[in-house]
Every structure is written in C-alpha cells, then in structure tokens.
Amino acid sequence: MGVNASEERLAQLSRRTFLSMWSYQNPFYRHGKELCDVLVVFGNDVLIFSDKSIGFKECEDDKELKVAWDRWFRKAVLESIQQLEGALNTIKKRPETIHLDAKVSSPFPLSLPAPSHARYHLVAIAHGSEATCLARLGRSSLRFDTRIKGDEKALSIGYTEGHFVHIFNGTALAALFESMDTTADLIAYLRERRDLFQGRPLSMEGEEDLIATYMRARRPDGRTTSATLSDHRDQLFLKSTRALGGRGLVNPSSHSAGRLLPRHISWMTSLSTCPLSSPKGA
C-alpha cells in the first residue's frame, strides 16, 4: 500500500532521526488495513502517529475561514484522532494482530508492553494549514488554547474528547524533531506537554514557544533539573495572556532553539533513561 508525501516525510523523519531504532512505518492489523502511520516502541512508552495532509481552501473573509477551518479540522484532525484511538484499542487488546506488511505475513517483531505498564502517546500530524496560518497569524504554526473545544476557534487547537492527543502541523513537527536529541527527550516533552494542557487554562501563539522554552532550560551537558513544566504553569499562563493580545513571540521562519524565543520564561523537565524494547521470545 502506497503512502502520500506527508506520510513519507514523517517516515523519513523517524528513520533519519533519533527514532530510527524504535520506529516502524505503516504497520497493519488486518489484511490491507493500516494501524497507523508510524509506531514507536521504546521500553514501556508507545508512540502512535497518524499523519494527514488536507488542503486548506483560500479564504477572503472570516466567514469563509470558519467554513474552511471546520472542513480541514474534521478531515485532518478528527479523522486522525479516530485512527489513533482505533490503533490504541488494537494495541491494548489485540497486539498479536499487528504486522509489518499489508498481507499480515510478517508479525510485529517487538513485544508490546502490557497495558498496565504501558505509557501511550498519541500524536496527530495535520498538514495543510501552514500557509493560512502564516497569512493570518504571521507564523505558520497553529495556536493552542486549552479553553476551547474542538474546532470552536479557527487556526487554534483546543481540548478534544477521549484519550489525550498531541496535535501538530508541519511547522511544529519540524521544530520538534530539529530540537530534540533523543527519544527520551521527545517522550519527556510530550509527557510535560500533556500535563500542562490538562491543567490550568493556557493559550500560546505556537508550538515553537513551548519547544524553545524547553530547550533553553537545558544545560550544556543536555541534562535538566527536576522542575517540571507544570511547576511553572503560573508563569507560562501570565506569558500566554500577552500572546492573546496579538503580539507574536516567535519568528515564524525560525526553528532553531537559539533563535526561537529570546525572552521567554524558562522551565525545566527531568529526563529518564529507558531500557531497550525486547524482541518477541527474548
């Protein structure tokens, strides 16, 4: 079964970066039925990626923008969430059905952690909104605002029902992969991000702000202190209110942590090492 351009970019990122040893592209759970776009197993952490590339219609006014946003959100975000939740259910209840090929003749080579021990990270990659974000917001990443639900606010990602899902567009994904050095870094960031989003209401202009804050907290040796992002929620909330006033914090074309955010509240997160996933039968 073929893959589209955005799925191939995600696959290339996973193959060429720190995820290369842990990731499997386009696994299947039934003949011709794809489980997800990329599956990562790293000890007890399981990362499930869904990638959608949906065109965003050009808009002349706010009314057209709302119509275009609703359509894009439904196809790029909600359909990804549906796929991710289905994949999670299969991984938890029927892991033996997962294979590497569409003919389900090559079993998944790793033993997945038991649900009682596993930590699941669902990631939806939604391409297509970047040009509209740049034209409307002055930067190509989506805003996030945990006070809104679903598609209530155009070009803003808010709360979604069910299992927590990380939602990134292409700009945020590129910044994320360029900034993180190890799989443990990525997992720690996703964990802290989830905790932050599920806590006190927060709104920020783009994912780059959060990534840059994370990177600026790291010491030269790559380590961080034991303070978590949630511990600095009050400071980040105050900073987010400035963003709501319409002042962008980040150059939209910058993805390097050194240029992303010159004046942002620092926060730190602890990283832990992770054992290798074991092949079946080991």
Check residue 237 and give its pLDDT: 55
- The 10s digit of each residue's pLDDT in 225-239 is 444 555 555 555 555
Query: Which is nearest to 252 in space by CA: 177, 154, 172?
Result: 172
In a domain, 279, yes or no: no
How far apart are alpha carbons 243 and 208 in whole angstroms? 13
Considering only 18-22, 137-141, 165-169, which range has the smallest mean pLDDT?
18-22
pTM of the complete model: 0.79
**Domain around 17:** 5-260
Q: Is residue 276 part of a domain?
A: no
pLDDT of residue 254: 31
Please list, in sequence order, all residues whose beta carbon lies within 8 angstroms of the beta carbon of residue 234, skipping any fewer than 6 positions away.
200
Angle at 190 between CA 253 and CA 118, to 5 degrees: 150
Instruction: Report d(CA 85, CA 247) in Å as an integer.
Output: 36
Q: Is residue 271 part of a domain?
A: no
For residue range 25-74, what is the model confidence (pLDDT) as tens digits? Answer: 999 999 999 999 999 999 999 999 999 999 999 898 999 999 999 999 99
Query: What is d(CA 78, CA 164) in angstroms, rounded to the nearest whole number?
Result: 13
Cα(206)–Cα(168) distance, integer angstroms: 10
State residue 221's pLDDT score: 57
Assigned domain for 270 exists: no
The secondary structure of residue 71, as a DSSP letter, is H
45-53 vs 38-42, strand pairing mode: antiparallel
Residue 19 domain-assigned (yes or no): yes
Total structural domains within the chain:
1
281 within a domain of the structure (yes/no): no
